[in-house]
Structure 1
Amino acid sequence: MHQYQIYTKGKNLPNATKALILLHGRGALAQDILTLSDFFADERFYIAAPQATNYTWYPYSFMTKESQNEPWLSSAVEVVKRLIDETSQYIPAEHIYLMGFSQGACLTLEVSSRFAQKYAGIAAFIGGLIGDKLLAERYQGDFKGTKAVIVNSDIDPHVPLSRSEDSKKIMEGLGAEVHLQVYPNMPHTIINQAVELVKKLMF
């Protein structure tokens, strides 16, 4: 099970008016994904990134049968949901941005869609909803027009474009305004064009 270990930067939570929650990818550090905030956050932001125990949110592919990723997947969802809930005690959810890369992007979409509400914005750099099959009934709530950006390549080795497309449909069914941006031949990384797109559409 994941420990609840949160790294932060920016304004102290009680004094901030906006928040950015960042979720790292497989094998990475919370401290590393925190640096992504430099492109988006200003002096108003509380910035937080949880650290996955053993640097991995769940052991297998996000498209593996869900039971094989347990109990780590459920524990990861609980960590992120707790962080959102604790942050929203000071900052309304409509002023909280959620953002992740790769495994963290999948977790970003999964948690936000299981507990859909109005957020400031959602950005998934190479991601899709989690599970061997997507079950629409798993996802509840109303995004109320939340802007979301899903970035992917047409050749990504970890996240098939079709899964990003299916995730877009489910999120739109929950009331999100989803922009799916496909960059041909993009490597499995966060490219500058994607950062600029998210800034333009959400910040």
Structure 2
Amino acid sequence: MTSLLEWGLPADRAELAVLAVHGRGQDPAFMCALARRLGPAPVRFFAPEAENNTWYPLSFLEPVERNQPALDRSLRAVETSLDRLAQAGFGGQRVVLWGFSQGACLLSHLVLTAPRPLAGLVLFTGGYIGGTPPSGAALDGVPAVMRSIEDDPWVPRHRVEETAELLRRAGAKVDLRIDPGTEHIVTDEACAAATELLTTVAARS
């Protein structure tokens, strides 16, 4: 069973759960450190860990089948994590998915191929996986914050923009911003936007 690192408010005091999914070569501690850059919000964080710190072996731009079977295994790990959140009292309407880099790609693929109720979506520097745009999502009214860097070395701008458009077509309310630069980073503005989403969604729950 996938282990989950937890931090934030106690579950009985949190309005939302955030499933925080790390990138390639990272671990849950990276997301915990990144969360410290967010402002206060009434949430509890849960972070799964990829096997060998990698959710799938190749670039997310490669055809889906080239990243199998690791991709399906990782998607199941996220699904299992969501099941555990539900058992802890956080059904889909009280869960925000948050990913960075490979984690954002994994979550993009999940929400665009396996419809589910969600409270919100935060995708830092990522996009859908594979060569063919996925379909079948139903994200009516789900707020989504997407942030990336113009010339990120791993994630091309066009794929982030294509993913944002797919999410919009699925009904999500997408806030997309791509800042100039060449580094694989999370900006302070991105952290502020994520905090605003969390506090706004929590106030509605």
In structure 2, list runs of 5 or more residues that go unmatched.
200-205
Structure 1: which amino acid aligns with 2:98? M
Residue 191 in 1 paired to residue 190 in 2? no
Distance 1:186 1:101 in 2: 16
Structure-2 change in CA distance of 1:170 and 1:69 (3 Å): same
Q: How does 1:80-91 map to 2 (within 5 A)?
A: 80-89=78-87, 90-91=89-90
SS at match of 2:46: strand
Distance 2:197 2:20 in 1: 18
Q: How does 1:167-178 map to 2 (within 5 A)?
A: 167-178=163-174
- The share of aligned pairs that are identical, in percent, is 29
In structure 1, list runs of 5 or more residues that go unmatched.
none
Distance 2:177 2:106 in 1: 18
Question: Per-residue CA shift, 1:5-46, capped at 9, x if unaligned?
Answer: 22111344466431011011110111121223331554x422
CA root-mean-square deviation: 1.9
Structure-2 change in CA distance of 1:30 and 1:201 (3 Å): closer
Tell me the equivalent position of 2:121: 122
**Which structure carries more relative contact order (alpha carbon 8 Å, separation 6+)?**
2
Structure 2: which amino acid aligns with 1:131? G
Residue 199 of structure 1: how far off its partner (Å): 2.3
SS at match of 2:47: strand
Tell me the equivalent position of 2:92: 93
Question: Per-residue CA shift, 1:47-95, capped at 9, x if unaligned?
Answer: 1000001110001000112111111101111111121222134123222
Distance 2:186 2:77 in 1: 24
SS at match of 1:91: coil
Residue 58 in 1 paired to residue 41 in 2? no
Question: Per-residue CA shift, 1:113-137, capped at 9, x if unaligned?
Answer: 223334222111101011122232x
Distance 2:174 2:23 in 1: 22
Distance 1:197 1:149 in 2: 7
Q: TM-score, normalised by structure 2?
A: 0.87
Tell me the equivalent position of 2:105: 106
Q: TM-score, normalised by structure 1?
A: 0.88
Structure-2 change in CA distance of 1:59 and 1:117 (3 Å): same
Distance 1:135 1:109 in 2: 10
Conservation of the 8 A alpha-carbon contact between 1:24 and 1:104:
yes
Distance 2:76 2:149 in 1: 29
Tell me the equivalent position of 1:69: 67
SS at match of 2:33: helix
